[in-house]
């Protein structure tokens, strides 16, 4: 059996998205800036995509800027706001300890340029406490940036409440919603969001395309100088097929949102229940406030990379936050942020599902994981030591 | 990052996995915090390694380098085993990604630690310099 369970890394493009993209390559291949009919067809395709996405997020089409993806959107939103607010003497930014590197590294960049950054604790369940946020906001706070849902452990933040606090205190609020868009209901108006980053390939759209929602009242500085694309803010001929594909994928995801959420939660909970039967295993992240398709677990005494490569051999594609998969010394900063000791964090496994996954596939995972864990534990001096310490050996 | 076929072969079907209850020398290096621990067991007769087994907690390259290193010293005189370098292990595996070189260093150190244990148990005098390595092993150590 083949089970692709790494949808948080990327998804397979949907047939709907692909079908929407094909005419952009072969029929509407003109430059949207050209005035002739072939160009105008492309112009309309991009305009329609923008309207479609704006409708889903509940904003104006003028508030959607197409980008190359989540990282670009995060960089643009955070650096721009920092630049804008620094002029008003505000050089303090609040975020969390377990943001995506696109956010954390951007904050590091700003720190080197004189900004002060407060990273909120995310506690054991991977969710910030609103009181911590309230206490962290200062007179000179320029921006609060908190991810909607965590890419590794799937915990979902109280975005609406965070946004409300920011509104009340007059602080701009950005959210990296790369893992949430197309997977959770989002309404930028009701959720009090000023800026939001999204990425097409996380919901069965194409790779290399994303968008930044930025509230009209914020004067977003230009990212790329040149032509008049993206209302003069990001020059360069639009990636028409990708933009159209992303919009089609998002529409499909949004149309099926409730059904998908229900189905994925069932698969998720089934897998978690099944794998928790493995001794000395644990679930990472909140069990309730959680992405419908995210399973994140740790198994003591085993190392994540070995686990995921053995899983690949039996046809299951997953991911891990172990040091060895990150190519660095430390295991994932996300797992360390929720308080896991290094040696436990090294044994992490993330399975992320999409609506194409089935309960049969979940059963296959539940059947395949335990013998692999057992095999790795049998050759693990760490496991041997843990067993001795517990008096089990 | 990509593993060679040789690495995958030794990872999927590692040689000499296990423990030797009446080992003549046992060496353990690495630590849980860094995500890799290697433990080598040696059976030695008349200065020859007659059996070797390993237990490893770590990534695919940690398992593959353990497997390859045990193959390389099986049946060898102890003096030869001491000469095994991490570079030789890497070469025998048709290379390792740069970030994984430390696994091969660990394999070399595990063998040395096991031999030293054998020397200590048998009152064999040796030159400390032969076993000069940082037990807290450095990651990112290049060949």
Report the distance separating Cα B125 and Cα A119, nearest Å. 55
Segment A203-250, tens digit of pLDDT = 999 999 999 999 999 999 999 999 999 999 999 999 999 999 999 999
pLDDT at A379 over 90: yes
Residue contact B59–A380, C-beta within 8 A: no
pLDDT at A324: 61
Those of residues 43-102 in B touching chain A at CB distance below 8 A are 54-63, 99-100
Report the chain A residue with the minimal C-alpha distance to residue B40: A381
Residue contact A322–B32, C-beta within 8 A: no
B10, B98 in Cβ contact below 8 A?
Answer: no
Residue contact A301–B60, C-beta within 8 A: no
- Residues sharing a CB contact under 8 Å with residue A170, sequence separation 6 or more, in sequence order: none
Distance from CA of A212 to the nearest CA of B (A): 31
- Residues sharing a CB contact under 8 Å with residue A140, sequence separation 6 or more, in sequence order: A89, A90, A91, A92
Distance from CA of A329 to the nearest CA of B (A): 6
pLDDT at A386: 94
pLDDT at B32: 87
Report the chain B residue with the minimal C-alpha distance to residue A377: B57
pLDDT at B136: 46
Nearest to B59 among A306, A328, A384 (CB): A306
Segment A122-166, tens digit of pLDDT = 999 999 999 999 999 999 999 999 999 999 999 999 999 999 999
pLDDT, mean of residues A85-89: 95
Residue contact A381–B57, C-beta within 8 A: yes
Residue B5's CB is within 10 A of a number of other CB atoms, namely 9
pLDDT at B134 over 80: no
Q: A19, A21, A45, A20: which is closest to A32 by C-alpha?
A: A45
Residue contact B11–A309, C-beta within 8 A: yes
Residues in chain B closer than 8 A to A379 (CB atoms):
14, 17-18, 54-57, 63
Report the distance separating Cα B34 and Cα A331, nearest Å. 8
B20, B53 in Cβ contact below 8 A?
Answer: yes
pLDDT at A327 over 70: no
Segment A10-50, tens digit of pLDDT = 999 999 999 999 999 999 999 999 999 999 999 999 999 99
Segment B15-60, tens digit of pLDDT = 999 999 999 999 999 988 888 999 999 999 999 999 999 999 999 9
User: What is the rounded average pLDDT for all residues in chain A?
Assistant: 96
**Active-site residue flag, A324:** yes
Residue A200: both structure tokens together: 């097409």
Nearest to A381 among B33, B39, B61 (CB): B39
Question: Which one of the listed residues B8, B17, B20, B34 is annotated catalytic?
Answer: B34
State the pLDDT confidence band at B143, using cuts at 50, 70 and 90. very low
A45, A24 in Cβ contact below 8 A?
Answer: yes
Report the chain B residue with the minimal C-alpha distance to residue A307: B59
Those of residues 12-31 in B touching chain A at CB distance below 8 A are 12, 14, 17-18, 28
Strand A141-145, strand A92-96: pairing: parallel
Residue contact B55–A384, C-beta within 8 A: yes
Handedness of CA A63, A209, A348, A184 (dihedral sign): positive
Which ipTM score applies to this complex?
A: 0.91
């Amino acid at each position: 059996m083949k089970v692709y369970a790494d949808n948080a890394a990327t998804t397979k493009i949907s047939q709907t998205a692909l079908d929407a993209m094909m005419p952009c390559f072969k029929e509407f291949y003109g430059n949207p800036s050209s005035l002739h009919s072939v160009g105008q067809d492309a112009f309309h395709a991009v305009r329609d995509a923008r309207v479609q996405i704006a409708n889903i997020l509940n904003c104006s089409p003028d508030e959607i800027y197409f980008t190359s993806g989540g990282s670009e959107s995060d960089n643009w939103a955070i650096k721009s706001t920092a630049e804008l607010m620094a002029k008003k003497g505000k050089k303090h930014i609040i975020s969390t300890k377990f943001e995506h590197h696109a956010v954390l590294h951007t904050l590091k960049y700003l720190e080197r340029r004189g900004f002060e950054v407060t990273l909120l604790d995310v506690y054991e369940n991977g969710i910030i406490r609103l009181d911590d946020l309230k206490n962290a906001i200062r007179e000179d706070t320029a921006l609060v940036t908190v991810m909607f849902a965590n890419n590794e452990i799937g915990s979902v933040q109280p975005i609406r409440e965070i946004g409300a606090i920011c509104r009340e205190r007059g602080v701009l609020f950005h959210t990296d919603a790369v893992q949430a868009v197309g997977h959770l209901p989002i309404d930028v108006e009701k959720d009090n969001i000023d800026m939001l980053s999204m990425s097409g390939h996380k919901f069965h759209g194409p790779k290399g395309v994303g968008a930044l929602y930025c509230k009209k009242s914020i004067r977003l500085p230009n990212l790329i100088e040149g032509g008049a694309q993206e209302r003069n803010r990001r020059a360069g001929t639009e990636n028409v097929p990708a933009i159209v594909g992303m919009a089609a994928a998002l529409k499909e995801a949004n149309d099926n949102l409730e059904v998908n959420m229900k189905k994925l939660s069932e698969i998720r909970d089934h897998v978690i229940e099944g794998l928790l039967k493995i001794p000395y295993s644990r679930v990472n992240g909140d069990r309730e406030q959680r992405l419908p398709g995210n399973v994140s677990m740790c198994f003591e005494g085993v190392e994540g990379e070995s686990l995921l490569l053995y899983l690949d051999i039996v046809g299951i594609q997953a991911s891990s936050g172990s040091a060895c998969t990150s190519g660095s010394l430390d295991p994932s900063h996300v797992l360390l942020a929720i308080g896991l000791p290094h040696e436990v964090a090294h044994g992490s496994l993330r399975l992320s599902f999409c609506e194409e996954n089935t309960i049969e596939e979940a059963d296959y995972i539940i059947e395949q994981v335990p013998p692999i864990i057992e095999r790795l534990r049998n050759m693990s001096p760490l496991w041997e030591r843990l067993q001795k310490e517990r008096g089990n050996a | 990052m990509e593993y060679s076929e040789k690495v995958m072969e030794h990872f999927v079907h590692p040689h000499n996995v296990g423990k030797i209850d009446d080992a003549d020398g046992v060496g353990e290096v690495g630590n849980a915090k860094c995500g890799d621990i290697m433990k080598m067991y040696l059976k030695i007769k008349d200065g020859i390694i007659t059996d070797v087994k390993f237990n490893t907690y770590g990534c695919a390259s940690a398992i593959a380098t353990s497997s390859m290193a045990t193959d390389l010293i099986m049946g060898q005189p102890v003096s030869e085993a001491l000469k095994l370098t991490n570079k030789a292990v890497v070469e025998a595996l048709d290379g390792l990604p740069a970030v994984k070189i430390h696994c091969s260093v660990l394999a070399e150190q595990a063998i040395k630690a096991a031999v030293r244990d054998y020397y200590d148990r048998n009152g064999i005098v040796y030159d400390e310099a032969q076993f000069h390595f940082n037990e807290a092993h450095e990651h990112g150590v290049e060949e």
